[in-house]
Structure 1
Amino acid sequence: TFDLIVDGEVLIPYPWDAGQTFIDLYVDDEFVERQVVPLTSRENVRFRGLNLSAGQHLFRIEVDPTDDVEETNEDGNNVVGLVLDVAPGSTEPGDLVDLTIWIDTIVDTQGNDGDTLIPGVINVDYWVRVTNSKTWLRNVLVAIEIDGAPAETQRIDLVTAEGEDFVSSGRFILNLPRGQYVFTVIVDPENEIEEEFEHNNEDSRTVTLDPEANSSIFDLDPACCSAIVMVALIATMSIIGQYSQRRQRRAQQTMVAETVEYPSSTYGGSDLEPSTVTFHSTPRDPSKVPTSLDDQWTVQSMDDTMVSRYGLDGSDSSSAERITMYRAPPAMPKERYKATNLSCPRCNGRDIVVFPDGSAKCQSCKKIFYPGRRYG
Structure 2
Amino acid sequence: MTLLDTFPHLKEYNFPAQEISPTLFKTFSAAVANRITTLNLLPMARQTYSTRAIPLRNILCTFEHLVHLRAPTAEYLLDDMDLNDIRGQLQKLWIKKHVDATSRSHPRIAQDDPAVARQYVWVCRGLRTLHMKVDYHGTDCDFSELSLIVFGFLSRMCPRLQELSLKRRSLDLSLQGGLCLLTRLQELERVRIITHHYPQMDERDLLWIPSTPLSTWDRLYYPLLRHSTCKDLQAQYKGISPDKTTGSKLVERGRELGMDLSKVGYPEDLLDWMEERYGTTAPVEGDYASSSFRSLQLPKMQSFSVECREKKDKKAIAAQKLEDVVAKVRPNVHFRMCEEHKDAFYETTLKYW
Fold conserved between structures, TM > 0.5: no
Bigger Cα Rg: 1
The structure in which a higher percent of residues are helix is: 2
The structure in which a higher percent of residues are strand is: 1
